[in-house]
């Protein structure tokens, strides 16, 4: 199975806007896939995977990214799916590939104290409130604290997720619609808002780990080696 940006389309209808693609180039791409016994795997959601141009007259969309596979691979993974996901940073959309149906059964997780909780402004007051209102002996109060903190943490995470999910959903709808001046303005604005939320998440986790992940990159290995020897 091969997946990614092939920088070429198979047929003329896989492009909208701009100059028509030369038939010879598309025919050559089809022949390469045929010679390699590779079959297009299809997709779900919006048709195009690449887009450029913020004005109606300059907007171009193409299906440059795809997955292709041999018949043998397809028979090994009959429940595969390829999804074109929303994108806000790149002009290419990410491809999400799954080889089996998602298991939606809920998993019961044991209680774990998360380090990021102490970074929340409301953490100390929340602990005090739960503890003061808890009944019974020490073990009972600890159990109440555990349940209360889980609810509190879930609420904070959900509020963050809701805004991001709302923006992703809006972006999905905008990408499905035809391009016009109003659609493109709203599309750009939604991407900016989503990028801002993603940046806030990144900064939040950088603060939580007390390491500037994006700045140090591969130096993290050295950092953790030093920590281990101290």
Domain-wise residue ranges, the chain: 2-98, 115-228
Quote the pLDDT of residue 1: 95
Quote the pLDDT of residue 188: 87
Write out the DSSP string of 84-147: E---SSSSB--EEEESS----PPPPPPP---GGGGGSTTHHHHHHHHHHH--SSHHHHHHHHHH
- A 10 A CB-CB count for 171 gives 20
Domain 2-98 fold is Deoxyribonuclease I; Chain A (3.60.10)
Quote the pLDDT of residue 193: 85
pLDDT by residue for the chain (230 residues), tens digit each?
999 999 999 999 999 999 999 999 999 999 999 999 999 999 988 889 999 988 888 899 999 999 999 999 999 999 899 999 887 778 898 999 998 865 555 555 677 777 667 767 788 999 999 999 998 888 888 999 999 998 998 888 787 778 888 888 888 888 888 888 888 888 888 888 888 777 766 666 665 555 444 455 554 444 444 444 44
Quote the pLDDT of residue 12: 92
Assess contact for 46 and 84: CB atoms under 8 A.
Answer: yes
* pTM for the model: 0.53
Quote the pLDDT of residue 215: 52
Say how far apart CA 84 and CA 28 lie, in whole Å: 25
Quote the pLDDT of residue 133: 92
Tokens of residue 64, six digits: 């440059």
Q: Is 60 helix (H, G, I), strand (E, B) or coil?
A: strand
């Amino acid at each position: 199975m091969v997946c990614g940006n092939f920088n070429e389309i198979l047929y003329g209808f896989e492009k909208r806007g701009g100059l028509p693609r030369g038939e010879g180039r598309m025919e050559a791409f089809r022949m390469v896939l045929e010679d390699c016994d590779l079959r297009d795997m299809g997709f779900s959601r919006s048709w195009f995977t690449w887009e450029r141009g913020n004005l109606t007259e300059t907007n171009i969309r193409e299906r440059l990214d795809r997955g292709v596979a041999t018949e043998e691979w397809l028979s090994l993974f009959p429940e595969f799916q390829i999804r074109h996901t929303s994108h806000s940073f790149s002009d290419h959309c990410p491809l999400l590939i799954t080889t089996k149906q998602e298991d939606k059964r809920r998993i019961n997780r044991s209680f774990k104290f998360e380090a990021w909780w102490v970074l929340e402004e409301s953490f100390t007051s929340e602990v005090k409130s739960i503890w003061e209102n808890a009944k019974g002996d020490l073990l009972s109060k600890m159990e109440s604290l555990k349940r209360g903190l889980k609810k509190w943490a879930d609420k904070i995470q959900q509020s963050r997720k809701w805004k991001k999910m709302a923006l992703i959903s809006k972006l999905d709808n905008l990408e499905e619609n035809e391009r016009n001046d109003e659609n493109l303005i709203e599309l750009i604005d939604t991407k900016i808002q989503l990028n801002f939320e993603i940046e806030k998440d990144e900064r939040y986790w950088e603060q939580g780990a007390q390491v500037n992940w994006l700045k140090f990159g591969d130096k993290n290995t050295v950092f953790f080696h030093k920590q281990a020897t101290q």
